[in-house]
């Protein structure tokens, strides 16, 4: 099979045929083996992960050695757009979303303590867990995801694998939140803990995918005009939410103070 055929093949299939490739990709922090979707084509992976040029050449040489152990076949060089992964320079709207992730990560870091203090029997205990879920639903989901799903993604084909992967993460998170609310109303502490833990496992990986892969990729593929449009849309969203984000920041700060 020619190299072009492999570039256009689904990575899961390639890994099934050549299991060694999973480990090689892993060495370059490309976790396709453990990715739940695995829908990307080999060429998409190169475009999405956007390794530095020499690293990409090295990676492709190693992959071709596995596929064609007997002869030296090289993959054609992929087309490259400015700036590599090492110094991520975000456009202002992407930077805004990266900054919002910082607060979300601070919340995720607090979850083990929140779990330790879960009390579904007292008013204070319920207040704390409900405030936490309110943060997830209204800050992380509505306010932040509104920027991703309702605005930024609109510029891209919804069937692109990278968009699907991110949207599927959002769907999973919403599922856990729904289950948390159900657990609270059933006073089922075990189930609440289980879903909080699953949530806090998905979120850091999700945020990394966005900060390191999705947002730089979007920046490379949006025109300057589109970035400008996105920026003003985001400002409109911020205006609409007014003081609410401040309230959520205060909630996180208070919790940090209480637990540290």
Binding residues vs Fe ion (CB under 5 A)? 210
| Closer by beta carbon to Fe ion, 75 or else 248 | 248
Q: In the bound complex, which residue of the shown chain has the CB atom lying closest to Fe ion? A: 210
| Closer by beta carbon to Fe ion, 61 or else 102 | 102
| Closer by beta carbon to Fe ion, 1 or else 171 | 171
| Closer by beta carbon to Fe ion, 7 or else 49 | 49
Find the shortest distance in angstroms from Cβ 210 to Fe ion.
Answer: 5
| Residue/partner pairs of 149-156 with CB below 8 Å, 24 or more apart | 151/230, 151/233, 151/234, 151/237, 152/93, 152/97, 152/218, 152/230, 155/218, 155/221, 155/222, 155/226, 155/230, 156/218, 156/221
Torsion angle in degrees (nearest 10) through CA of 81, 43, 34, 178: 70
Find the shortest distance in angstroms from Cβ 164 to Fe ion.
Answer: 13
Return d(Cα 213, Cα 218) in angstroms, integer.
9
Find the shortest distance in angstroms from Cβ 44 to Fe ion.
Answer: 19
Find the shortest distance in angstroms from Cβ 139 to Fe ion.
Answer: 11
Joined tokens for residue 154: 């609109």
Letter string b/e over residues 222-254, b meaning 16 or more CB atoms within 10 A of that residue's CB:
beeebbebbbebbeebeeebeeebeebeebbee
Whether 107 contacts 252, CB under 8 Å:
yes
Find the shortest distance in angstroms from Cβ 145 to Fe ion.
Answer: 6
| Closer by beta carbon to Fe ion, 21 or else 163 | 163
């Amino acid at each position: 099979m020619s190299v072009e055929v492999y570039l256009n093949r689904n990575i899961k299939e390639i890994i099934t045929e050549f299991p060694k490739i999973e480990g090689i990709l892993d060495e370059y922090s490309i976790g396709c083996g453990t990715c739940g979707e695995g829908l990307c084509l080999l060429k998409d992976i190169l475009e999405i992960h956007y390794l530095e040029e020499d690293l990409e050449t090295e990676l492709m040489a190693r992959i071709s050695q596995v596929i064609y152990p007997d002869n030296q076949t090289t993959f054609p060089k992929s087309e490259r757009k400015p700036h590599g992964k090492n110094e991520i320079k975000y456009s202002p709207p992407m930077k805004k979303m990266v900054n919002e992730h910082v607060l979300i990560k601070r919340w995720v870091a607090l979850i083990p303590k929140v779990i330790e203090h879960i009390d579904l029997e007292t008013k204070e205990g319920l207040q704390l867990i409900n405030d936490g879920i309110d943060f997830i639903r209204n800050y992380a989901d509505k306010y932040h995801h509104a920027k991703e799903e309702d605005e930024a993604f609109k510029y891209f084909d919804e069937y692109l694998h990278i968009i699907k992967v991110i949207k599927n993460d959002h769907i999973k998170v919403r599922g856990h939140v729904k289950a948390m609310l159900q657990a609270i109303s059933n006073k089922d502490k075990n189930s609440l803990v289980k879903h909080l833990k699953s949530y806090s496992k998905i979120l850091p990986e999700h945020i990394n995918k966005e900060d390191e892969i999705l947002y730089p990729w979007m920046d490379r593929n949006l025109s300057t005009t589109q970035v400008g449009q996105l920026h003003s849309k985001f400002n409109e969203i911020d205006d609409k939410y007014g003081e609410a984000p401040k309230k959520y920041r205060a909630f996180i700060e208070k919790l940090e103070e209480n637990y540290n």
